[in-house]
Structure formats: C-alpha cells, structure tokens
Amino acid sequence: MFLGASAGSVALAGAAHAASKAGASKGGAPFPKDFAWGVATAAYQVEGAAAEDGKGPSVWDVFSKKKGAIFDGNTADVACDHYHLYKQDIALMKALGVKSYRFSVSWPRVLPDGVGASNPKGLDFYSRLLDELHKNGIEPFCTIFHWDYPQALYKKGGWLNRDSAEWFAEYTTLLADKFSDRVQIWATQNEPQCFIGLGLLDGVNAPGDKLKYSEYLTAAHNAMRAHAKAVQVLRARAKDAKATKVGYVVAAQIAQPLTDKAEDVDAARAAIFAVGRHEWNNSWWMDPVLLGKYPEDGVAVAGKDMPKFKPTDLDEMKQPLDYLGLNIYKADNYKRGVDGKPEQVPVPPGYPRAGSDWEPITPGCMYWGPRFFFDRYKLPLSITENGLATRDQVCLDGKIHDPQRIDYMHRYLLELARAIKDGVPVTGYYAWSLLDNFEWADGYKQRFGLVYVDFQNQKRVPKDSFDWYKKVIASGGRSLQEKVAFPVTQVTPL
Ligand code: NOJ
C-alpha cells in the first residue's frame, strides 16, 4: 500500500509518514535560520502591459491570440497588471513576511528585438521593482528566462539557431550590468523541459510548434548551451562576484518509493534518473549542465536523432553552479517489479488531486526529490516552486477559504523538513504563487495564488493560506508542528 495508508485516516503518499516522523521531533522543524521563505511569480504570468512602454512581443503574446490555444481564449495582455500594481504586490509580500521574492524579467520588455537596442522604460520598471523590494527588506531572486521568448528571435530560428546561446548571453549581460548591484540570486532558465518540450515538440505551449525529434533535441542542446553562457556572463560581470549565487531551475520529475523497503527506494532512485522520453526527464536536462555529459540511456533512446555538436560543447555546458532549483509539485510511485526493474504504480482511483489534473497530492516528493537530487549532483538545493491549484471563490463572508492548499503545503513542508533533518541542504522554499495568475494554456482557470485576484477589477484578497503561510514563516517553520483547525478565518490587515 501507499506510504502512510496503513498509518491512519488519510491515504496520501508519503504524508502520514512525514507527520509521524517530523511530528515526533521536539523543538520544531529544522529549517536553517537564514532559510529563504519566499514566493514566486513569472513576468508573463503577472505583469500584463503586454505592449506598453516599448515592450516587444514574445512568442506567448502571439500564441495566446491563436484560436483554441488558451482556455476560453484568455490572454495575458493585462494578467495581474503587476506592471502597474507592483507596489501593492510588494506590500502584500511584506505583510506575508517573505524573506525573498522570485520573479522573472521579460526579455522582450528590456530588449524588444531580443538583441540590440535596449528599452529604457522596460529596464526602469525592473529597477523600480528592485528598489521597492529592497526598501521592504525582501531579497530579490531573478529568473532570467521564464518562457516569454522574444518573437523577433523566434523568427530567426529561436532555440534551433546555434546563435541563440549568444543572444541569451547578450541579454544576460544587460541584466548583469543593470541589476547585479541589487540582485545576488540568479536563475538562468526556468523549466527548460517546458519551454522546449511543451513549446517546440508537443505544441501546447508557445510558440506551438511540433518539431521533428532531432530538431527538438537540437533546440534542447542550444538551450543548455545558453544556460552555460549566462553563468559565465554572471561570473564575469556581476558587481559582487563572491556574493552572487547562480543556479538552474528544472521541472523536477520525482519518483518516490511505494514503501520504505530498500528495494523500492532503489527502484525509485533508478526511475528518477532513467531516460524514457526526453521531455519529462531529469538526467537529460541536468547531466550535461551539472556533469558535462548526456546520460547514456538517453543517447541510446535518441539514436539517430541525437544532435551533432562540437566536441567542446559539453565541457562548456558544465559551469559550476551554486545551487540547483527544483520546482516540485508531485511524484510518481515506484516499486521493485517482479523482473527486478522499477515498476510504476498508479495512484488508486479517487486519489486526491489538484484542480490542475496533472497534480496528484503526493507529499513524499518533497522528501525523496531533494534527497535523490542531492545524492546525484551534490549541490545545495532551493525549492524554487511548489503549490496547488484549487477552484477558489470568494465566499459569502467575503473571504477565500482554501483548506486544500493549506493542507497540501503543510504536508509538503513537513516532508521538506524531514529531508533537511536527514542532511539534505535546502536553502529556500518559494510558494507558487503569490497571486492567482495566467496559467499558460490553462489561462485563468487554475488559481495557484496565496492571494486571490479578481481579474475583472484587479482586486487582491489574501486567502486563508496566506495567513497560514505567514505564521509558518514567522515561526521559522515551527508552527508546522501544530494541528490546524479549519477554516482559518483570521484576516490579515494590509
Ligand atoms: C511551473 C512553471 O514554472 C510555472 O510557470 C507554472 O505556473 C507552475 N509550474 C504551475 O503549473
């Protein structure tokens, strides 16, 4: 049976296990003192102002206008209007008590054509944003690229063009020169699996292409080369090179053992690094960047589609990093099969799920993921995203009660605490997301925010989970040991 199923009332994979172990520890959760409790967003999902102040179009601006591309024909032309309301949003972060804010820069807002002339008004927006964050004692964490690729560069071949790595280096140079006086934590790219896999192979994300497999792998190769060039740029140009932390953020695909038995743990460990399909896979996207080689099983699967590249590429791709960013939402369960190979075990019928159907609630991913990744790559980890989409609504009392999100975060954070306790170095946790926002092809259907956004009038209302997370942050994670009584009705004064 699933971990935890036998221990109590709730059959959530990994959950009861966490509660029993973490709950047993006296003195509270083992989060380090300087732990970066944070929230995350991405430029295209919150900013709006899609064609304002000289911003150039991104592939998402074009894709979202295509009939049938986005749920209900939604667009991010306005999104959360964060471009204009950023001060209000930073006030919310301050009220929440976060130590750090992970945001991304819109490449075509600062470089409308992707390269060449920069846009002073676009740069000014991020400059004001950074100043406001510092004024409020919030550490900025800048993701250089979170999917909104300049349309002008896409027209020149995008990631298929070998020059794309140099374009990315030019863009990074601009950010380093303008902002490294105020930003010390950087991520080069967010979830390359998605902007290459979903965007260029499956065609469900912008730009909506369905490339040949060989082309898709070439685009992936160039994206990883671009990452490495950006790391080199930051090392060379950041104002305070010593204090600068550079990382890479992946859509971590977690395999967790079905039971605590060593044979199932081994099965999950083998599964998490095996390459079946290249898109939804860890090693293909991390081994070149962190170990300087493509995984052998992946090369075998690619066969004749394997990209041809310069022999020096792999050495260049492997640039020393300060941390690995993991976006963790869910796990698949594995056990040792009768043939000795890892066997995936689907969740039982009716198993708890997020509003977004791809997310079964599997708290154990927050233990096993960090543990397996640390064992293989030996880098400090940051949980750069974690969160739950629910169908939130304003209740008759004017509040947004989201017990599912609270329960989800509670279980996941207990598992993270357990990983830290077992020696995995984790530097921070960024809840996805501060605000309900534009969830890509799902438009505004999925609400991931700790703050509810009424997209008709841009009114923000903190949800119950906002107050709950506030308490977690204020107590340095100790409140995770307390029982939760639902609903949480305390209202945060702004
Ligand atoms: C991963 C992506 O980085 C983010 O943009 C997205 O909204 C969340 N996961 C939720 O799907």
CATH, residue 126: 3.20.20.80
Domain membership flag for residue 362: yes
Domain membership flag for residue 445: yes
User: How many Å apart are CA 202 and CA 208, to the nearest integer?
Assistant: 7
Query: What one-character-per-residue DSSP string does 42-93 give?
Result: -HHHH---TT-TTPPPBHHHHHTTSTTTSGGG---SSTT-HHHHHHHHHHHH
Burial of 212 (0-12, 13-18, 19+ CB in 10 A): exposed
pLDDT confidence tier of residue 4, bands split at 50, 70 and 90: very low
Alpha-carbon distances, residue 447 vs 86, 389, 436, 442 (angstroms): 19, 5, 5, 10
Please report the atom of ligand 1 found closest to the CA of residue 387: 10
Per-residue pLDDT at 27: 54
Domain membership flag for residue 416: yes
Is residue 23 over pLDDT 60? no
Per-residue pLDDT at 172: 99
Q: Which two tokens stand for residue 78?
A: 């306005």
Q: Tally the C-alpha atoms within 13 A of residue 348's C-alpha that lie toward its C-beta.
A: 9
Per-residue pLDDT at 407: 96
pLDDT confidence tier of residue 485, bands split at 50, 70 and 90: confident
Per-residue pLDDT at 12: 66
User: How many Å apart are CA 249 and CA 268, to the nearest integer?
Assistant: 22
Whole-number Å distance, alpha carbon 326 to ligand 1 midpoint, is 12
Element (H, E) at 143: strand 139-145
Domain membership flag for residue 2: no
Please report the atom of ligand 1 found closest to the CA of residue 440: 7
Question: Lowest mean pLDDT: which of 63-67, 315-319, 356-360, 388-392?
Answer: 356-360
- Neighbour tally for 277: CB within 10 Å: 11
Is residue 460 over pLDDT 90? yes
Domain membership flag for residue 494: no
Whole-number Å distance, alpha carbon 459 to ligand 1 midpoint, is 22
Domain membership flag for residue 487: no
- pTM for this model (two decimals): 0.95
Per-residue pLDDT at 31: 97
Question: Catalytic: 170?
Answer: no
Per-residue pLDDT at 278: 75
Percent of the chain past pLDDT 90, that is, above it, reads 89
Phi/psi at 33 (5° precision): -55, -45
Domain membership flag for residue 46: yes
Is residue 16 over pLDDT 50? no
The C-alpha R_g of the chain, in whole angstroms, comes to 22
Alpha-carbon distances, residue 486 vs 253, 361, 363, 364 (angstroms): 31, 19, 20, 23
Domain membership flag for residue 295: yes
Nearest CA to ligand 1 atom 6: 439
Instruction: Find out whether the beta carbon of 191 lies less than 6 Å from any atom of ligand 1.
Output: yes
Please report the atom of ligand 1 found closest to the CA of residue 42: 5
Is residue 88 over pLDDT 70? yes
Nearest CA to ligand 1 atom 7: 439
User: How many Å apart are CA 168 and CA 115, to the nearest integer?
Assistant: 9
Domain of 100? 7-479
pLDDT confidence tier of residue 484, bands split at 50, 70 and 90: confident
Domain count, the chain: 1
Q: Which position among 191, 279, 415, 439 bears the catalytic label?
A: 191
pLDDT confidence tier of residue 276, bands split at 50, 70 and 90: confident
Q: Which two tokens stand for residue 141?
A: 């964490």
Question: Catalytic: 385?
Answer: yes
Per-residue pLDDT at 3: 40
User: How many Å apart are CA 288 and CA 299, to the nearest integer?
Assistant: 12
Helix axes 403-421, 464-474, angle to 10 degrees: 20
